[in-house]
């Protein structure tokens, strides 16, 4: 084979190849001549070994005092901070988004580590007074055991950190199966934990493909909880498999996020937000702005201003200075973008900007596409209903706030939404009536912070949340404890024994 760097799975404290010996290449989506590394193409037997190691390690890890577990997380965050630039570079090479954004991705992992390290000194429970004399009662969080974590490629370090850190602080052990397109960033994250001193078997990483490595993890009977982030289609499948075993599952899935622009909005502010919301991360954020729902009285001015601004976006290799937008993650994703551009044209939407793949010079070696804007889009067109996950935004004219909110809610997803208005009443009505997990006022649909709950309604999620202290509910269960120190069986217990 080649002299490309070879990476191994981390199982039970050892770096090991896939048992089958199979591997796959990870290439740079901005330049497919650049091989990032060779990764294990793992199967069920590797997952079984990782789960066994995690199960064994759980016996001791669950008994480590939570503040001590927190110290490990704190050290890992410090290491991530020291390596931020290197890890951001690696991430831009394997994922494509520009350096400013990959630095943000690593930073989110750092923030999550510090936040969860602090939770090691809280992990608050509940105490309530008893109905009886001489009786004490409380409820505490208990860990579940081995957690199976499955992650997407668009935030290849932040999203693993949103899962691994809270799982560990609660006293669980983990097996993570990173996205096949971006294993290196998740390996880097695990390396930071290893260097921080994580005990053997507490964190295991097994790379490979969804059906052959992800699915055995979901189906393994010793995995007590699955936390999945990815597409709605795969998430529903994962959820069905979990239901068959009565397994806990947390799902974070697709989005079709709306930005409402009222006629009183500050259009200068809108411009920056709309362009960043729609084309940041090449539109490959679960929270990307993919629908701009604009009041008819300003829609023409807005469309021409967004068009002029988006035209100036520098598209190219995210490692180069001045680049603002990178490639799609792979050929398949680029094909999806091209398919939806064709659908939009056929549906009669007006192509205001872009619409073509970029192939000039070095761009021809990557999966680049022009920033693309459709105007005069109708609410029920496929480009306004289905997740595209690329640099394509639809502008939908409406006549009132009521109609805007109705259009905003009229999709199968409910992750993020935003409204631009200077009218405080409009803002509060939107905050109340937009049925999404996140609502922004005078800001784009992206920009969540890790210490508030993150997640979506409808087809985006299953009621769970990442981030905030709410994430702890995914990785722990409540245990209620009653202590009777009366020295005898009390009357109410006889009358009302549950
Ligand atoms: P995907 O569903 O194709 O893959 C996600 C993960 O699931 C990958 O690790 C993949 O290997 C694995 N997988 C695939 N098939 C599987 C199977 N049968 N069993 C078990 N695991 C399997 O999604 P993607 O293309 O990596 O990511 C893009 C999607 O993720 C978009 O829909 C986006 O909106 C969504 N996303 C959502 C959030 C959120 O928080 N709501 C965040 C980021 C991305």
- Is the pLDDT at 1 greater than 50? The verdict is no
Angle at 337 (CA atoms; ends 406, 448), nearest 5 degrees: 55
Percentage of the chain beyond pLDDT 90 is: 97
Residue 147 catalytic? Answer: no
Q: Decide whether any atom of ligand 1 lies within 6 Å of the 154 Cβ.
A: yes
| Inter-residue contact 213 to 19 (CB < 8 Å) | no
Q: Which of 156, 223, 231 to mutate to test the pocket of ligand 1 (most atoms within 8 A of CB)?
A: 231
Catalytic, out of 286, 338, 387, 466? 286
Q: Decide whether any atom of ligand 1 lies within 6 Å of the 226 Cβ.
A: no
Q: What is the whole-number distance in angstroms between the Cα of residue 222 and the centre of ligand 1?
A: 22
| 3-class state of residue 51 by DSSP | helix
φ and ψ of 316, to 5 deg? 170, -165
Residue 252 catalytic? Answer: yes
| d(C-alpha 96, C-alpha 141), whole Å | 40
pLDDT at 39: 98
| d(C-alpha 194, C-alpha 59), whole Å | 19
| d(C-alpha 396, C-alpha 148), whole Å | 40
Mean pLDDT of 331-342: 98
Using alpha carbons only, how large is the chain's radius of gyration in Å? 24
Over the chain, what is the mean pLDDT?
Answer: 97
- Is the pLDDT at 367 greater than 70? The verdict is yes
* Closest of 331, 288, 310, 327 to residue 92, by C-alpha: 327
* Residue nearest to ligand 1 atom 10, measured at CA: 210
359 CB-contact burial (10 Å; exposed 0-12 / middle 13-18 / buried 19+): exposed
Q: Decide whether any atom of ligand 1 lies within 6 Å of the 181 Cβ.
A: no
| d(C-alpha 160, C-alpha 189), whole Å | 8
| d(C-alpha 423, C-alpha 428), whole Å | 9
* Closest of 112, 399, 387, 141 to residue 261, by C-alpha: 399
The structure tokens listed for 485 are 């120190």
Angle at 119 (CA atoms; ends 115, 123), nearest 5 degrees: 155
Residue 16, number of CB atoms within 10 A of its CB: 16
Q: What is the whole-number distance in angstroms between the Cα of residue 255 and the centre of ligand 1?
A: 12
* Residue nearest to ligand 1 atom 39, measured at CA: 252
| d(C-alpha 358, C-alpha 450), whole Å | 35
DSSP for 77-112? HHHHHHTHHHHHHHHHHHH---HHHHHHHHHHHHHH
pLDDT at 256: 98
Q: What is the whole-number distance in angstroms between the Cα of residue 215 and the centre of ligand 1?
A: 12
Q: Decide whether any atom of ligand 1 lies within 6 Å of the 229 Cβ.
A: yes
- How confident is residue 495, by pLDDT bands cut at 50, 70 and 90? low
pLDDT tens for residues 441-461?
Answer: 999 999 999 999 999 999 999
φ and ψ of 169, to 5 deg? -65, -30
Q: Decide whether any atom of ligand 1 lies within 6 Å of the 387 Cβ.
A: yes
| d(C-alpha 447, C-alpha 444), whole Å | 7
CA atoms within 13 A on the CB side of 229: 29
The structure tokens listed for 47 are 């997952």
| 3-class state of residue 450 by DSSP | coil
The structure tokens listed for 260 are 């409402």
- How confident is residue 175, by pLDDT bands cut at 50, 70 and 90? very high
pLDDT tens for residues 192-222?
Answer: 999 999 999 999 999 999 999 999 999 999 9
- How confident is residue 3, by pLDDT bands cut at 50, 70 and 90? confident
pTM of the model: 0.97
Q: Decide whether any atom of ligand 1 lies within 6 Å of the 476 Cβ.
A: no
Atom of ligand 1 nearest to the CA of 255: 34
* Residue nearest to ligand 1 atom 8, measured at CA: 179
Q: Decide whether any atom of ligand 1 lies within 6 Å of the 253 Cβ.
A: yes
- Is the pLDDT at 477 greater than 50? The verdict is yes
Beta strands 416-420 and 438-441 are: parallel
pLDDT at 493: 60
CA atoms within 13 A on the CB side of 391: 31
Q: Decide whether any atom of ligand 1 lies within 6 Å of the 456 Cβ.
A: yes
- How confident is residue 484, by pLDDT bands cut at 50, 70 and 90? very high
Q: Decide whether any atom of ligand 1 lies within 6 Å of the 156 Cβ.
A: no
pLDDT at 399: 98
- Is the pLDDT at 491 greater than 80? The verdict is no
Catalytic, out of 252, 338, 387, 466? 252
Q: What is the whole-number distance in angstroms between the Cα of residue 235 and the centre of ligand 1?
A: 7
pLDDT at 489: 80
Q: Which residues contact 147 (CB under 8 A, 6 or more apart)?
A: 163, 167, 172, 173, 174, 175, 223, 224, 225, 226, 227, 475
- Is the pLDDT at 86 greater than 90? The verdict is yes
pLDDT tens for residues 305-318?
Answer: 999 999 999 999 99
């Amino acid at each position: 084979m080649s002299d490309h760097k070879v990476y191994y799975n981390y199982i039970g404290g050892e770096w090991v190849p896939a048992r089958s010996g199979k591997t796959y290449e990870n290439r740079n989506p901005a330049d497919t001549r650049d091989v990032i590394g060779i990764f294990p193409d793992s199967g069920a037997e590797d997952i079984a070994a990782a789960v066994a190691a995690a199960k064994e390690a759980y016996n001791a890890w669950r008994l480590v005092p939570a503040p001590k577990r927190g110290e490990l997380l704190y050290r890992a965050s410090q290491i991530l901070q020291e390596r931020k630039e290197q890890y951001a570079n690696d991430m831009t090479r394997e994922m494509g988004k520009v350096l400013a954004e990959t630095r943000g991705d690593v930073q989110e992992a750092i923030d999550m580590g510090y936040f969860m390290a602090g939770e090691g000194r809280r992990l608050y429970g509940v105490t309530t007074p008893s109905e009886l004399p001489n009786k004490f009662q409380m409820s505490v969080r208990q860990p579940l055991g081995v957690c199976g974590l499955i992650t997407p490629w668009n935030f290849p370090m932040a999203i693993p950190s949103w899962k691994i850190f809270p799982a560990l602080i609660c006293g669980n052990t983990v097996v993570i199966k990173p996205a096949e397109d971006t294993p290196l960033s998740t390996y880097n994250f695990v390396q930071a934990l290893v260097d921080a001193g994580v005990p053997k078997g507490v964190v295991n990483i097994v790379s490979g493909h969804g059906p052959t490595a992800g699915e055995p993890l979901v189906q393994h009977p010793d995995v007590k909880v699955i936390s999945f982030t990815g597409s709605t289609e795969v998430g529903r499948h994962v959820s069905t498999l979990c239901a068959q075993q009565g397994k806990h599952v947390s799902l974070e899935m697709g989005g079709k996020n709306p930005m409402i622009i009222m006629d009183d909005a500050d259009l200068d502010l809108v411009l920056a937000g709309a362009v960043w919301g729609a084309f940041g991360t090449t539109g490959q954020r679960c929270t990307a702005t993919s629908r701009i729902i604009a009041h008819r009285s300003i829609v023409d001015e807005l469309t021409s201003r967004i068009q002029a601004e988006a035209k100036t976006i520098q598209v190219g290799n995210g490692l180069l200075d001045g680049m603002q937008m990178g490639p799609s993650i792979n050929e398949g994703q680029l094909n999806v973008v091209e398919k939806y551009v064709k659908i939009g044209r056929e549906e009669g939407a007006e192509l205001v900007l872009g619409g073509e793949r970029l192939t000039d010079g070095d761009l021809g070696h990557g999966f680049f596409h022009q920033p693309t804007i459709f105007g005069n889009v109708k609410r029920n067109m496929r480009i306004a209903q289905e997740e595209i996950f690329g640099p394509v935004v639809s502008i939908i004219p409406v006549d009132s706030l009521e109609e805007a909110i109705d259009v905003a809610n009229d999709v199968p997803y409910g992750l993020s939404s935003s409204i631009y208005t200077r009218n405080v009443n409009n803002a509060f009505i939107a905050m109340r009536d937009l049925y999404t997990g996140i609502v922004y006022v005078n800001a784009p649909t992206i920009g969540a912070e890790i210490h508030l709950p993150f997640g979506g309604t409808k087809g985006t999620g299953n009621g769970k949340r990442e981030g905030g202290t709410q994430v702890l509910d995914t990785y722990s269960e409540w245990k209620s404890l009653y202590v009777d120190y009366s020295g005898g069986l009390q009357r109410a217990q006889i009358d009302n024994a549950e």
